[in-house]
Structure 1
Amino acid sequence: MINPSKIVEGGVEYSLGTFTGTELIYDFSKILTYLEAKGKLLFGKKFRIIDEDHLTWYKLANYFIKDQEKCHKYNIDTDKGILLSGPVGCGKTSMMRLLKHLVPHQRPYEVIPARNIVFGFNLIGYKIIEDYGKSGLFCFDDLGIEPEGKFFGNDCNVMGELLLSRHDLFLNHNLKTHLTTNLNANELEERYGSRVRSRMRQAYNLIAFPKNAKDKRN
């Protein structure tokens, strides 16, 4: 019988909690141990999870394992996507790349830099918005620092248009999208407009690092 509380990485078995036969009871300290080990495999031996970030990890882990009681405490809706906000270098991208490995039984999302989508638009035009906007599970990374799109002389706020398409997927097909950004709510509205910002409130859980979060790249 497969035990869903166990994950094997690099030949080492990690426990995420206790499996009763019908229910998996997660242990956050064990989750952190696994995520740090997986992080070292993905990002190098210097990767570590610092104490100051534990609350952010806690909120996100409970979202991904769908612990409804703990999510309710932090006003997190597991039917919505994640909007992970924080200063440059605080570890947003690493978090979103890591956390999908915590729930291997769930359909994984792909982490795509927003600037890459704009570069694609500049090459092939509106088909890129259609391709990313009609299906699939994605985390659009570094939203807000991408350049403006331009195709045959026509300017386009590519990610703004794509977010509107993804919102339709959320409403009509319960398909979630995740985002990471360095921008705050006002800056997002300035960048993408009130229409997009309004839909973001409906479709995303805002989880934010403290403004003084450390830059892990230093």
Structure 2
Amino acid sequence: MVNPSKITEGDIEYSIGRFNGFEMFYDFPKILVYLEAKGKLLFGKHFKIFDEDKDIIYKLSNYFIQDKDKCEKAGLDPEKGILFSGPVGCGKTSLMKLLKFIVPLQRPYSVVPCRNIVFAFNHLGYKIIEDYGNGSFFCFDDLGVEPMGRHYGQDCNVMGEILLSRYELFLKSKLKTHTTTNLNAEELEERYGSRVRSRMREMFNLIAFDESARDKRK
């Protein structure tokens, strides 16, 4: 039987809680130890978990482990995806790349920069919207700062179209989409229009860093 409380990285085994054979009991301080170790493996030795980010990580962890009681207290719906917002450099992308590793038995998502999707659209056209508006599991990174798409002289708000397609999948099959953004709600509406913005309210839980969160890349 697979024990979800133990995660092995190289030759080191990390415990993130206790598994009694039927139910998993997570231990948040142990999750933090594992995330910092995994972060160093993924991003380099300079990576660290900052004390001021622990509340956000706690909220995200409860969402990913699907702790319904703690999600309810935090105003999170486990059936929806995550819209993770905050200033440039505060660590949104790194955390979204990291958190999926605490639930190795769950279906993983791919983190894809929105600008890369638009560049692919410019080259390949509407097939790209179909590719990302399908049943795969994605986290769209840096939503709202990608350029407008242009294929054979036709402009297209590529990510807006993809979000509309993902909304249909969310309604039909509860397929989750995650995204990170530096923009606030008004800026997102200005970028994608009120129709997409209202769909985003239905699809996403908003988790936000404080506007004063520091740039960890400096």
> 1:59 maps to which residue?
59
Partner of 2:168: 168
Q: Does 1:39 align with 2:27?
A: no
Residue correspondences, number: 218
Matches for 1:110-189 after TM superposition, within 5 Å? 110-189=110-189
Q: Give the aligned residue type for 1:28.
A: F
Three-state SS of the structure 2 residue aligned to 1:37 is helix
Distance 2:3 2:156 in 1: 49
Distance in 1 between the 2:154 and 2:70 partners?
Answer: 47
Aligned-pair CA distance for 1:21 = 2.1
For 2:145 and 2:179, how far apart are their aligned partners in 1? 13
Cα distance between partner residues in 2 of 1:25 and 1:98: 20
Aligned-residue sequence identity (percent) comes to: 69
- Over aligned residue pairs, what C-alpha RMSD do you find? 0.7
CA distance in 2, matches of 1:138, 1:125: 20
**1:19 Cα deviation from its structure 2 partner:** 1.3
Gaps of at least 5 residues in structure 1 are none
Within 2, Cα distance between the matches of 1:3 and 1:112?
30
Kept in 1, the 8 Å contact 2:144–2:188? The answer is yes
TM-score w.r.t. the length of structure 1 is 0.99
Q: Deviations over 1:71-109 (max 9, x none)?
A: 000110110000000000000000010011111100100
Distance in 2 separating the partners of 1:38 and 1:157: 36
Alignment of 1:55-134 (within 5 A): 55-134=55-134
Structure 2 residue 49 is matched with structure 1 residue 49:
yes
Q: Provide structure 2 residue ranges, at least 5 long, that are not aligned to the other structure.
A: none
Post-superposition shift, 1:195? 0.2
CA shift for structure 1 position 10: 2.1
Q: Residue type of the partner of 2:171?
A: L
Mapped pair 1:200 → 2:200: yes
In structure 2, how many angstroms separate the alpha carbons of the residues matched to 1:122 and 1:44?
Answer: 33
Counterpart secondary structure, 1:82: strand
**Contact 2:4/2:103 (<8 A) preserved:** no
Which segments of structure 1 move beyond 6 Å, counting only runs of 4 or more? none
The one-letter code sitting in structure 1 at the alignment partner of 2:43 is F
Amino acid at match of 1:148: M
Q: 1:8 is aligned with what amino acid?
A: T
How far apart, in 1, do the equivalents of 2:84 and 2:32 lie? 18
In structure 2, give the amino acid aligned to 1:107. Answer: R
SS at match of 1:202: helix
* Higher deviation after alignment, 161-170 or 18-27: 18-27
SS in 1 for 2:84: strand
For residue 144 of structure 1, report the CA deviation from its aligned partner: 0.4
Contact persistence 2:4–2:104 (CA under 8 A) = no
Question: Tell me, what secondary structure is at the counterpart of 2:180?
Answer: strand
Per the TM alignment, residue 22 of structure 1 is displaced from its structure 2 partner at its CA by 1.4
Counterpart secondary structure, 1:7 = strand
Give the letter for the 1:126 counterpart: Y
CA distance in 1, matches of 2:192, 2:15: 42
| TM-score, normalising length: structure 2 | 0.99
Residue-by-residue CA offset, 1:121-147 (whole Å, 9 max, x unaligned): 100111100111022000000000000
> Quick one: distance in 2 between partners of 1:3 and 1:192?
43
